[in-house]
A and B are shown apart, each in its own frame.
Chain A
Amino acid sequence: MAIAKRHRTELATQKFEYAPAPESTDFVKIEPHYGLFIGGKMTAAHSKKRFATINPATEAKLSEVVEADEVDVDRAVKAADRAFDSWSRLDPSRRARYLFRISRILQERARELAVVETMDGGKPIKESRDVDVPLSAAHFFYYAGWADKLEWAFPNRKPRPIGVAGQVIPWNFPLLMLAWKIAPALAAGNTVVLKPAETTPLSAMLFADICQQAELPPGVVNIVTGAGKTGSLVVSHPAVQKVAFTGSTEVGKLIQRSLAGSGKRLTLELGGKAANIVFEDAPMDAAIEGIVNGIYFNQGHVCCAGSRLLVQESIAEPLLEKLKLRLGTLRLGDPLDKNTDIGAINSKAQLDKITGLVESGVEEGAELFQPECKLPERGFWFPPTLFTNVSQSYRIAREEIFGPVLSVLTFRTPAEAVEKANNTPYGLSAGVWTDKGSRILWMAERMRAGVVWANTFNRFDPTSPFGGYKESGYGREGGLHGLLPYVELN
């Protein structure tokens, strides 16, 4: 007994040291500057404005990209418009072949893509390597197969492509969001103008190269870089008939407003403030891992992150104790290191936003916990953070932080958990942890959210539709349902 106790104490104080295990970057070639991908090739821009994209973990400049202006966007849209006629009439099985080929090249160049994604965005290499890149390839593979089966997807209807799709994507999963946007659009016979996020343009530039390697017909995919202004030029261009946006609810509302009366089709995948609900009968260790994965995956830069932990009061104390211990074992640092759990915050602006919201949490009276955690001197970093004593009215319980910050609330009854979970204008995702099957289904039924993870969290798959209720947007991406936004039905 005494021995067992001593053993436990030793375990608790034991330090695990990890030798650095950085992924090499020597075979990755990043150009000093990029043009715009229009009409099947990299072209010189009309705009003379350029901006740097940096590695957020080192603040070193990686490359320079164009801030595309009205003339550039117009060229890109016209190229897409010209390509639409032949692409939409192409034998669907041939469209499928191009998409299959793109998927294969994504697999072939997986390492290069993963390293660039991590350098440009700051996410841990184990995530870009094991999640972003394989899921992107899988997404193209899945929709490739739909290209010549659309009539089976919409029985009794005649699906037709819409035209030019203008697509604006965020910086948290740059390549994966590109895949979610481009794959279904192309499969259904549309052509695309895509604008990647300003802080993470590089994987899209690599993708331009992949389109050329796959010999995709010119103009089917066009990529213009820039910030919000360029994005608004893309969505407002009169020849763009379909708009798809993933990003903040604030910008989503601006886009919905700006497209009013235009007759353009619109889908929005916006913010979230998901509840991750843990009942007293949940398998505790699995739940702890789920909570950690739910909010600290990709530094919490995840729209469906489980940012509100709702714990049943009876287990709150032991669960929090364990969770805090677990937070202490998370390794923060060099995103290229294969052991890293928490990488760099994507940008200075995002770091400031997180810092501001965390300060508001402290000011409003929540209790802050951060494990001992040495932050690198250069770059943008934020330690894994946990707030207890949080009231539903606090900003940290209501607003999307988009960082590694968890707000913990408690509940007594299932009905109270439902009430608190749904007490938000968002409705993207929810988590439920319990051993009781009937309760899982009862809870899943009552969550006003587009994705419910039961006894798991943050799982994604090309066959699984993803998207929000309420102010988290409308339309679905992934699965059969992900085709609907890209077809007209006769």
Chain B
Amino acid sequence: MRGPHEIRGFRGVHKTYKLYIGGEFVRSESGRAYRVDGSVNVPRGSRKDLRDAIRAARGAFPGWAARTAMNRGQILYRAAEMLDGRRAQFVEVLGGGRIAAREVDQAIEAFVWYAGWTDKLAQVAGNTNPVAGPYFNFTIPEPTGVVGIVAPSESALAGLVRRVAPALCGGNTVVVLASETSPLPALTLAEVLATSDFPAGVVNVIGGYHRELLSWLGAHMDVNAVDVAGCTPEEVASIEKSAAENVKRVVKIKPSEMSPQLITAFMEMKTVWHPIGV
């Protein structure tokens, strides 16, 4: 008798790539897919998938924003651990070789770097302000809300983590639109995020066509900011135009940047006054 694990000529199990929405791996509600690399079916997300993802992100926002900075840091660090544990898989997804291995290193490094920022940011980006009067006055950064991130195609893993990590670091919830031409790193990254203790809905990843989804992302009234890292200049212009509808913040910092200013690009500064007296 042979056990099922001893099937002759066994060649592994092919994975069906899925969208990651509200903590679950789902097919596109549209039932559509498109092919990259000639053979892999990638779910082609629809406007409704995008809406579901934004709704999940909005629902998760108060809870994630209210987590302690320390706790958010621990979870981001766990994402680095999970990614490191699947290093070989990601090197393969990125095409193998030294360049791919270096990119995985960079992605891990970005998670670690921003994990360490969660509980320091307010000390660097916040202040007490010496106003001319008997008032205690302080400024603190707060997350802006739901952030849409258009993943870059170049450096599809590290480039994406360099945007997702700072947005999560500040306490935002995120909807990632995977690169249209190289979506697999983003869709696979969802599997890392799913096992890193992010509460459901904090990060959502969908794939699909820019021409079908970007205008809805730019115009959605429940999205507070859009990072256009993966957009062409024409797409940036179109998103900026529709973003005006609810005065969205459009983040256009260059994709390689790692800085506290990139964290605060997804944040609002709140200033609180209170009189001093007896």
Do B269 and A470 have beta carbons less than 8 Å apart? no
Task: Please pick, from B139, B233, B275, the residue contacting A465 in the complex, using a CB distance under 8 A.
Answer: B139
> Would you call B26 an interface residue if the criterion is a C-beta within 8 Å of the partner chain's C-beta atoms?
no
Bits for B243-268, please: 1 = Cβ < 8 Å to A, else 0. Answer: 11111010000000001010000001
Do A257 and B241 have beta carbons less than 8 Å apart? yes
Do A256 and B246 have beta carbons less than 8 Å apart? no
Do A461 and B127 have beta carbons less than 8 Å apart? no
> Would you call A351 an interface residue if the criterion is a C-beta within 8 Å of the partner chain's C-beta atoms?
no
Q: Which of B249, B261, B274 has most chain A Cβ within 10 Å?
A: B274
Taking CB as reference atom, which chain A residue is nearest B249?
Answer: A474
CA distance A225 to B94 in the complex (A): 57
Task: Please pick, from A157, A256, A453, the residue contacting B247 in the complex, using a CB distance under 8 A.
Answer: A256
Taking CB as reference atom, which chain A residue is nearest B268?
Answer: A469
Do A454 and B273 have beta carbons less than 8 Å apart? yes
Do A157 and B240 have beta carbons less than 8 Å apart? no
Do B247 and A474 have beta carbons less than 8 Å apart? yes
Taking CB as reference atom, which chain B residue is nearest A249?
Answer: B247
> Would you call B271 an interface residue if the criterion is a C-beta within 8 Å of the partner chain's C-beta atoms?
yes
Task: Please pick, from A454, A473, A479, A489, the residue contacting B274 in the complex, using a CB distance under 8 A.
Answer: A454
Do B273 and A456 have beta carbons less than 8 Å apart? yes
> Would you call A61 an interface residue if the criterion is a C-beta within 8 Å of the partner chain's C-beta atoms?
no
> Would you call B137 an interface residue if the criterion is a C-beta within 8 Å of the partner chain's C-beta atoms?
yes
Bits for A465-487, please: 1 = Cβ < 8 Å to B, else 0. Answer: 11101111110100111001000
Do B244 and A253 have beta carbons less than 8 Å apart? yes
> Would you call A463 an interface residue if the criterion is a C-beta within 8 Å of the partner chain's C-beta atoms?
yes
Q: Which of B124, B236, B240 has most chain A Cβ within 10 Å?
A: B240
Do A461 and B131 have beta carbons less than 8 Å apart? yes
Q: A253-B247, A261-B233 are in contact. Are A479 and B139 (CB under 8 A)?
A: yes
Taking CB as reference atom, which chain B residue is nearest A458?
Answer: B273
> Would you call A459 an interface residue if the criterion is a C-beta within 8 Å of the partner chain's C-beta atoms?
yes
Q: Of residues 119 to 163 in B, which have CB atoms within 8 Å of A's CB atoms?
A: 124, 127, 129-133, 135, 137, 139, 144
Do A467 and B269 have beta carbons less than 8 Å apart? yes
Contacts of B268 in A (CB 8 A): 450, 469, 474
A-B contact number at CB 8 A: 115
CA distance A454 to B236 in the complex (A): 40
Do B135 and A157 have beta carbons less than 8 Å apart? no
Contacts of A474 in B (CB 8 A): 247, 249, 268
CA distance A470 to B268 in the complex (A): 9
> Would you call B272 an interface residue if the criterion is a C-beta within 8 Å of the partner chain's C-beta atoms?
yes
Contacts of B233 in A (CB 8 A): 261
Do A464 and B236 have beta carbons less than 8 Å apart? no
Do B271 and A260 have beta carbons less than 8 Å apart? no
Taking CB as reference atom, which chain B residue is nearest A138?
Answer: B132
> Would you call B238 an interface residue if the criterion is a C-beta within 8 Å of the partner chain's C-beta atoms?
yes
CA distance A489 to B264 in the complex (A): 14
Contacts of A214 in B (CB 8 A): none
CA distance A470 to B233 in the complex (A): 25
Q: A157-B261, A261-B233, A440-B274 are in contact. Are A465 and B243 (CB under 8 A)?
A: no
Q: Of residues 417 to 457 in A, which have CB atoms within 8 Å of B's CB atoms?
A: 425, 440, 444, 447, 449-456
Contacts of A461 in B (CB 8 A): 129, 131-133, 137
Do A261 and B241 have beta carbons less than 8 Å apart? yes
Taking CB as reference atom, which chain B residue is nearest A469?
Answer: B268
> Would you call A270 an interface residue if the criterion is a C-beta within 8 Å of the partner chain's C-beta atoms?
yes
Q: A157-B259, A259-B240, A261-B233 are in contact. Are A456 and B135 (CB under 8 A)?
A: yes
> Would you call A252 an interface residue if the criterion is a C-beta within 8 Å of the partner chain's C-beta atoms?
yes
Do B139 and A481 have beta carbons less than 8 Å apart? yes
Q: A456-B135, A465-B139, A479-B139 are in contact. Are A451 and B273 (CB under 8 A)?
A: yes
Nearest Cβ on chain A to B157's Cβ, whole angstroms: 25
Task: Please pick, from B132, B245, B272, the residue contacting A444 in the complex, using a CB distance under 8 A.
Answer: B272
CA distance A157 to B127 in the complex (A): 19
Nearest Cβ on chain A to B275's Cβ, whole angstroms: 5
Do A452 and B270 have beta carbons less than 8 Å apart? yes
CA distance A336 to B133 in the complex (A): 26
CA distance A267 to B124 in the complex (A): 22
CA distance A254 to B247 in the complex (A): 10
Bits for B36-74, please: 1 = Cβ < 8 Å to A, else 0. Answer: 000000000000000000000000000000000000000
Contacts of B259 in A (CB 8 A): 156-157, 489
Q: A261-B241, A440-B274, A452-B272 are in contact. Are A464 and B129 (CB under 8 A)?
A: yes
CA distance A440 to B138 in the complex (A): 14
Task: Please pick, from B124, B238, B244, B271, the residue contacting A256 in the complex, using a CB distance under 8 A.
Answer: B244
Task: Please pick, from B243, B246, B273, the residue contacting A453 in the complex, using a CB distance under 8 A.
Answer: B273
Beyond A456-B273, A464-B131, A481-B127, 7 additional pairs, beta carbon < 8 A: A260-B237, A444-B272, A451-B273, A459-B133, A463-B129, A464-B137, A474-B247
A–B pairs, 17, beta carbons within 8 Å = A157-B261, A256-B243, A260-B238, A260-B239, A261-B236, A261-B240, A425-B246, A454-B274, A455-B275, A456-B274, A459-B133, A461-B129, A461-B132, A461-B133, A463-B132, A464-B129, A470-B247
A residues apposed to B, CB below 8 Å: 138, 155-157, 249, 252-254, 256-257, 259-261, 268, 270, 425, 440, 444, 447, 449-456, 459, 461, 463-467, 469-474, 476, 479-481, 484, 489
